Amino acid sequence: MRQPDDFDAFYAQARDRVLLEAYALTGDLPVARTAVRDAFSVAWHHWRKVSRLEDPEEWLRPLAWGRAQRRHSARVGHREKGLDDDARATLEALSKLTVPQRKALVLTLLSPLSPEAVSREVGLPQSEVERELRTATDQFAVTRGTGTVGVQAHLEHLRTVTGTARWPRASVVRRAGAARRRTHTLVGVAGTALVLVAGGMFVTRGDTALASLDGESFESPLVTTEALDTDTDTDTDTGPVLTDDVLLAAGDLRTLDRDLTWTEAGTHDNAGGDGLALPCQQQRYADPRGLGAFVRTFDGAGEQPRVRGGGKATRAPATSAAGWELVELSGSQRAARRAYSRVGEWYAGCLEDRMQLLSAHRIGQLGDEARLFTLRAWKGDPRTLRVGVARSGQVTVTTVTRVDGLVPDPRKPVAVLARAVNRLCSSPGAGSCAGMPAVKQVAVPRAGRVPGMLSEFDLPPVARAPGPWIGTEPVRARVNVASTRCDRTRFTGEGIRSNLTRTFLFPAVARANEFGLTETVGVWSPARARAFVTGVRDRVAQCAESALGTEVRQLRDVAGKNTDVTAWNITMEISDKDSVQFLMAIIRSGGTVAQVGFVPSRTMSMQRGDFLAVVDRALVRLPRLGERGGPRR
C-alpha cells in the first residue's frame, strides 16, 4: 500500500515548519519553498521506507536544506522584497553567521529536534554544536541589537513571511514523486542496456540470429547522472528540478523598446487563485502533471514627455506595457511536446473578448521547436500582444509582451524568446539552446468550432462597437445571409456537402440583426466549385451594369487554378435619401468555397483593409473544411 492519506497528513503537518527552517537558512523564500516541495516529492518516491521511520521529518529535513543551499549562492535575504524591518534585520543578522552556526541556532530554536538530532543535522559532535550555538546566539544578539532571550522571538517572526507561501495540493506532489519513480525506471533500463552492450552481450529478436541492442530505441527523459541510483535511503538529488533562477530578468525585455523601463512585478508558481496568470491562458498548467512551473510578470513604462499647449506645460499619458513568462518542466519530452502544443492552442484560438489573431510565425534554430503568435487587443486603445512559445527538451517556455499600438514586427519578441531559452537550456531536463533564429510566417493553426470557418478571434475591431463579437452556432446553409441582392447566391443543390453558415454580431447593439458579418461555406468537386465562383462573379458584374441605383466597386480580384478571391464594395439605393452598403467576397480553395458578407451601420463599420484581412484569413482556413467532412445533402 502506498498510503497516500498518511503522506498527505505528513505533508500538511511538516511543510510549514521545514519551510521556516529552510528560509532562515537561505533568506530566499522561492528557493526554500521549491526545495521543500521537491523534498516531499522525493519522500513520496521512497514512502514505503520513509513512512516506517520513527521521524520521517528528520529524514526530510537535510534533503530540503541541502537542495535549498545548492540553489542559493548569494547572501541570506538578498532577493526578498517588501519585507518589514524586523524580518529584514533578522535575515541580516543570520547572514553574519557561518552555516554550522546558523544551522545550530535555527534547529535548536525552531525545530522539535533533540540535541542529539541537532548534532546529527549539523554534522558536528554535540560539544562543538553547543559551542557553535553559544557563539551564534551571542553574535546574532549583538548584530540584531537585542538580548539573547529575544533571539527566538525574532526567528519566530519570520513566520509572517513564510506564512504567505502557497503550496500545491498533496496530490500534485505525489504525482511529481510518481514521475520521478518512472524516470528512475526508464534510466535504469537504459543503463542496463548500456551495460549489456559494453559487455558484448546480445539478444535475439524473434527468429533472427544474433541482433545487437544498437537497433533498439530508448526514449529517456533528460536527467542528471545522480538519478541512476534507484531506491536508496541516501538519495538526495534526482532528476530535473525547475528553479526560478532560469527566468528572464527585467533587463532582458529592454530589446522590445529602448524607451521603456521594465521592472519585475512578481514571481510565483501559479498554485494560487484561478491559475489564469497570462492573457488567453485557458488552464492553470499546460502540463497538469508537470514537475514544476513558474510565472514571472513585468511592468513597462515610458517617460511622460512635456507637451506645451494653451500657454502652459502639461504631461502626455505615459506609455505602458506588460510582460509575462511561464516556464513549465514536464516529466518527459513527450509530455513537453504535448504542453507545447497546448500552449499553441491557447493563442491560436484565444477566447478573450476583443482579441484578434493577426499572424503566426515558425521560428527555426530556437530550442527544439518554437513559434510566435501576434494578436491585437482592441478593447479601448489598440495594443499588440506578441506571444513566443518554445520547447527545449522537457521545458516549455512562453513569453508574452503587450505594448501600445499596432506593432506586428516579430523580430524583437523573438529575441526575447531566444533569451528566455538560453537562460534555461543548460539546466537539467532542458535541450537545445537558441542560435540565430530563422523566422518564417506560416498559416495560422487549426482553431475554432469549425476549423474551416472564421471564428471570433479572426475578426478585427469595429469602431464604436460595444462589447466583443459573438458568433452564432454554425448551421446548415438553407439560407445564405452573406449574399446580396446583386448575386443572390445559394449554397444548396446537387453535389454540395458541408454547407454551413454562421453570423457574427454585437448583441448589445440596438437592432443587432441588421449589422454584422456572415460566412457561408460549402464543398464541391474542384470543377463545380470553379463554376460556382464564376457564376457569382458574373451576376455581380451584370448587377453593376444593369441595376439602377447600384454601385459596385471591386476591391480585390485574384483568379488561379486552385484559388479565387474577389471582393466588392456594393452600395444600393433604397430611397432618394438612403442607401445601404455591403462588403462582400467570394473565395475558393480547390473545391471549397466561402462567401463573406459584412453589413455596416451608419455609426459602426470596419476599415476596408481589415475586411480584406478577414477575407485572407477565410481563405487560409477554408481548406480545412474539406478535411472536416460533413453531411452530404
Answer whether residue 307 is part of any domain.
no
Answer whether residue 450 is part of any domain.
no
Q: 361 and 495: one domain?
A: no
Which of 115, 131, 162 terminates a domain? The answer is 162
C-alpha cell at 192: 542496463
User: Per residue in 26-50, pLDDT tens?
Assistant: 888 888 888 899 889 888 888 988 8
DSSP 118-166: HHHHHTS-HHHHHHHHHHHHHHHHHHHTS-GGGHHHHHHTTHHHHTT--
Answer whether residue 264 is part of any domain.
yes
Q: What is the mean pLDDT of residues 481-500?
A: 93
pLDDT band of residue 348 (cuts 50, 70, 90) is: very high
Cα 614–chain centre separation: 27
- CA–CA gap between residue 23 and residue 16 (Å, rounded): 10
C-alpha cell at 70: 545548492
The number of CA neighbours under 13 Å toward the Cβ of 293 is 27
pLDDT band of residue 175 (cuts 50, 70, 90) is: confident
- CA–CA gap between residue 117 and residue 110 (Å, rounded): 13
Going by the DSSP 8-state scheme, the letter that residue 582 receives in this structure is: E
- Residue 487 is predicted with a pLDDT of 93
- CA–CA gap between residue 366 and residue 436 (Å, rounded): 8
Answer whether residue 189 is part of any domain.
yes
pLDDT band of residue 215 (cuts 50, 70, 90) is: very low
For 243, 260, 433, the CA distances from 299, given in Å and listed in that order, are 22, 9, 26
Q: 133 and 257: one domain?
A: no
Which of 412, 442, 472 terminates a domain? The answer is 442
Sign of the torsion angle spanned by Cα atoms 22, 24, 25, 31: positive
- CA–CA gap between residue 502 and residue 480 (Å, rounded): 9
* Contact yes or no for 301/318 (Cβ under 8 A): yes
C-alpha cell at 292: 514544476
Per the prediction, the chain carries an average pLDDT of: 82
- CA–CA gap between residue 177 and residue 44 (Å, rounded): 6
Q: 144 and 276: one domain?
A: no
Q: 111 and 13: one domain?
A: yes
584: domain CATH number is 3.40.1000
Q: What is the CA radius of gyration of the chain?
A: 32
Answer whether residue 406 is part of any domain.
yes
Q: 251 and 175: one domain?
A: no
Answer whether residue 204 is part of any domain.
yes
Q: 183 and 156: one domain?
A: no
pLDDT band of residue 312 (cuts 50, 70, 90) is: low
Answer whether residue 451 is part of any domain.
no
The number of CA neighbours under 13 Å toward the Cβ of 82 is 7
User: Per residue in 128-139, pLDDT tens?
Assistant: 889 999 999 999
Q: 504 and 610: one domain?
A: yes
Q: Nearest 5°: phi and psi at 88?
A: -65, -40
Q: 498 and 479: one domain?
A: yes
Answer whether residue 238 is part of any domain.
no
Which of 162, 179, 199 terminates a domain? The answer is 162
- Name residues whose C-beta falls within 8 Å of residue 571's C-beta, 6 or more positions apart in sequence: 550, 551, 552, 553, 579, 580, 581, 582
Find the domain containing 371 and state its range. 246-302+317-442
Q: Is the pLDDT of residue 186 over 60?
A: no
41: domain CATH number is 1.20.140
Q: What is the mean pLDDT of residues 441-455?
A: 94
- Residue 318 is predicted with a pLDDT of 58
pLDDT band of residue 234 (cuts 50, 70, 90) is: very low
Q: What is the mean pLDDT of residues 58-81?
A: 67
Sign of the torsion angle spanned by Cα atoms 451, 457, 458, 463: positive
Q: Ranked by mean pLDDT, which of 58-62, 534-538, 606-610 comes out on top?
A: 534-538
pLDDT band of residue 99 (cuts 50, 70, 90) is: confident
Q: 540 and 583: one domain?
A: yes
Q: 470 and 544: one domain?
A: yes
Tally of domains within the chain:
4
pLDDT band of residue 72 (cuts 50, 70, 90) is: low
Q: 611 and 482: one domain?
A: yes
- Residue 531 is predicted with a pLDDT of 95
Q: 126 and 95: one domain?
A: yes
Cα 73–chain centre separation: 29
- Residue 317 is predicted with a pLDDT of 52
